[in-house]
Amino acid sequence: MIPTLFTKSEEVRGWQQGLPKGSALALVPTMGALHAGHEQLIRKAQSVAPNVAVTIFVNPLQFNDPKDLQEYPRTLKKDIEICRRLGVTAIFAPPVDEMYPSKSNSTVSAGLLGAKYEGEHRPGHFDGVLTIVDRFFALIKPDFAVFGKKDYQQLVLIRQMALARYPMLEIVGVPTVRDPDGLAISSRNIRLSSSDRQLATKLFESLCLIETQFTAGQIDPRQLESVGRDYLSQYPQIIRDYLVCVDSANLAEINSVTNSAILLLAATVGGVRLIDNVLLNG
């Protein structure tokens, strides 16, 4: 199947309205630079709906660092080929001014949760994420929207927004895809040198070490966090932003891991910022 490529909102509206009545549509929002993780999202979308739309849009609102925005990989031709190979129904790859016309500068607030953890280190990031996702939801009107669990805080915030604004929309989370060395697959990984990539595997190793301690009976989240921090402190080249153990449903602080919890980790390796997570007691 050759996917239909759209760059204008009115084209997408016409396509969406022309779908057979009752034919479900799944949306996979991406910033392009598609990789094996995105392919899993697309396959999951195909498992829940006969029509799959992929958006490819490097969203400037979610970058607080202009250099990071400039360096973000853009591989549209390759992305289109991946979508074609997987049998995607449609691709929406709009220019920036299509999604952010000068007359429309309103944004969606991520609230207090959007200012914690990842949001504390990337001010305004989640406002930007929710703003563009909200615009895609309103335009494309999907029945399902598929996101990766690697960006776990993002997933929680999108679920909250969808519940409030799009109650008939089902948000589907897909487990993190990892390379054989354990590193979570990310579009940013291509910016890692070979030595930095090897160092980056220590992030997942620290989370696995914490998981081992939890399995052995440790349920104090502060103690679990310290296990991971102590492990990473052996590698001064890794600049850790945060490593926390919080409630997996709402990312609230907890006093013990008696229900489902999640380890959230963010660090910079070789100038590349990476995030990862592991679910405990899921």
Beta-ladder partners of 92: 6, 55
Q: Is 125 a catalytic residue?
A: no
> Under a CB-based contact definition with an 8 Å cutoff, are residues 113 and 77 in contact?
no
The active-site residue, picked from 35, 38, 121, 125, is 38
* DSSP state letter for 255: S
The alpha carbon torsion through 227, 198, 147, 123 (nearest 10 deg) reads: 70
C-alpha span between 73 and 278 (Å, rounded): 26
Is residue 182 left, alpha or beta, with left meaning phi > 0 and alpha meaning psi from -120 to 50? left
Structure tokens at 268: 């910079």
User: Do the bridges between strand 25-30 and strand 144-148 make them parallel or antiparallel, or are there none, so unpaired?
Assistant: parallel
* DSSP state letter for 121: H
Could you list the active site residues? 38
